Amino acid sequence: MNALDRIDRNILMQLQQDSRLTNVQLAAQVGLSPPACLKRVKRLTEEGYISRQVALVAPHKLGPMLHMVVEVFMERDHKQLFQEFVKSIQATPEIKQCYQVTGEVDFVLIVMVRDMEAYEKLCDRLLYSNPNVRKFRTLISMKRDKFETAIELE
The domain of 24 spans 6-46
Query: pLDDT at residue 93 above 90?
Result: yes
Residues 6+ apart with CB under 8 A from 14: 21, 26, 29, 30
Task: Output the domain CATH number for residue 38.
Answer: 1.10.10.10
The pTM score is 0.84
Query: pLDDT at residue 127 above 90?
Result: no
Query: pLDDT at residue 79 above 90?
Result: no
Bridge partners of 111, per DSSP, are 68, 95
Q: Are residues 129 and 76 located together in one domain of the fold?
A: yes
Q: Are residues 70 and 135 located together in one domain of the fold?
A: yes
* CB-based contact 26:14 (threshold 8 Å): yes
DSSP state letter for 89: H
Does residue 148 sit within a domain? Answer: no
Q: Are residues 37 and 64 located together in one domain of the fold?
A: no
**Integer angstrom CA distances of residue 151 from 26, 36, 112, 131:** 18, 24, 23, 37
Q: Are residues 88 and 136 located together in one domain of the fold?
A: yes
Q: Tally the domains of the chain.
A: 2
Q: What mean pLDDT is reported for the chain?
A: 93
Q: Are residues 120 and 75 located together in one domain of the fold?
A: yes
